[in-house]
């Protein structure tokens, strides 16, 4: 990493925050500049400081990554707010919790940025959606962008009311894709293929298709139509997926359900 904050404090270091930290360290971040605060974690990466509770003060100019569950915000916020200073930057991974609520409960001053990463950040192939309010300076935005770039695609979302939708698409999306791969393999197995072989073929197919879509100048929809020649096997299968808009309707319902859950989590966090 060419740029890394003076100090990063991770409050909560579960699967997602842990993946982010691992990627930063792989890219050259100095572990001596990282503190993890997590009472449930037994060990941290070599050189990283591990604490069970907040210290008496946070390091000068630190970036604080809030990686707890949204429902835990009410438990953590009072102690963190008591330590807050305007030289700190807050990055929150809490799904459904808006910037205004973070300012009210934790960080009345300084930079506040919401982030929604997804699991492929562990490989540097993730998506990091970001949003900040007017209280976050352009310099702070630039610094957060640089911090997130080793994780994958970085996208700033202008309208915060779309953040739950972005979360449903990119944050929840890998699980939906995993489910699709599993369903594709199970369908082949039910038609007579050996299950392990079906899974290998399904995973390789999706990986290759995603890679091709990534480098192609054509949209995925155009690519699908190019593969599906009239009267062929692919077109026959796609007719089933496309019939009565069934695939689009399924995904619309899926994203809407995830988006609505984000609104519910915001209400729980503010309770």
Q: pTM score, two decimals?
A: 0.86
**What is the dotted CATH code of the domain comprising 8-158?**
3.40.50.720
Domain 173-265 is found in CATH 2.60.40.420 = no
127, 152 Cβ separation under 8 angstroms: yes
| Of 92 and 70, more confident | 92
| Beta-sheet pairing, 111-116 with 126-132 | antiparallel
Spans of all domains in the chain? 8-158, 173-265
Paired tokens of 185 = 């393999």
* pLDDT per position as a tens digit, 130-156: 999 998 999 999 999 999 999 999 999
* pLDDT per position as a tens digit, 227-242: 998 999 999 999 999 9
Using alpha carbons, list the distances in angstroms from residue 116 to 82, 102, 179: 26, 15, 20
pLDDT band of 1, cuts 50, 70, 90: low
């Amino acid at each position: 990493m060419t740029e890394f904050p003076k100090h990063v404090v991770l409050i909560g270091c579960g699967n997602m925050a842990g993946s982010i930290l691992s990627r930063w360290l792989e890219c050259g971040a100095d572990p001596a500049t990282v503190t993890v605060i997590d009472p449930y974690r037994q060990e941290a990466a070599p050189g990283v400081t591990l604490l069970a509770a907040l210290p008496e003060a946070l390091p000068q100019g630190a970036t604080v990554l809030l990686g707890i569950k949204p429902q835990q915000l009410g438990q953590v916020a009072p102690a963190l707010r008591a330590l807050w200073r305007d030289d700190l930057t807050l990055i929150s991974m809490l799904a459904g919790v808006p910037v205004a609520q973070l300012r009210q409960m934790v960080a009345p001053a300084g930079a506040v940025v919401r982030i929604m990463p997804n699991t492929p950040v562990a490989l540097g192939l993730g998506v990091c959606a970001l949003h900040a309010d007017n209280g976050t300076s352009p310099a702070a935005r630039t610094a957060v962008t640089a911090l997130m770039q080793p994780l994958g695609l970085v996208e700033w979302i202008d309208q915060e009311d779309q953040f739950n939708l972005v979360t449903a698409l990119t944050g929840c999306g890998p699980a939906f894709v995993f489910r699709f791969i599993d369903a594709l393999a199970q369908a082949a197995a039910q038609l007579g293929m050996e299950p392990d072989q079906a899974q290998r073929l399904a995973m390789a197919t999706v990986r290759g298709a995603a890679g091709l879509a990534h480098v192609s100048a054509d949209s995925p929809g155009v690519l699908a139509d190019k593969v599906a020649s009239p009267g062929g096997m692919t077109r026959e299968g796609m007719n089933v997926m496309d019939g009565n808009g069934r695939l689009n309707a399924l995904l619309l319902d899926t994203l809407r359900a995830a988006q609505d859950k984000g609104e519910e989590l915001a209400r729980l966090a503010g309770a």
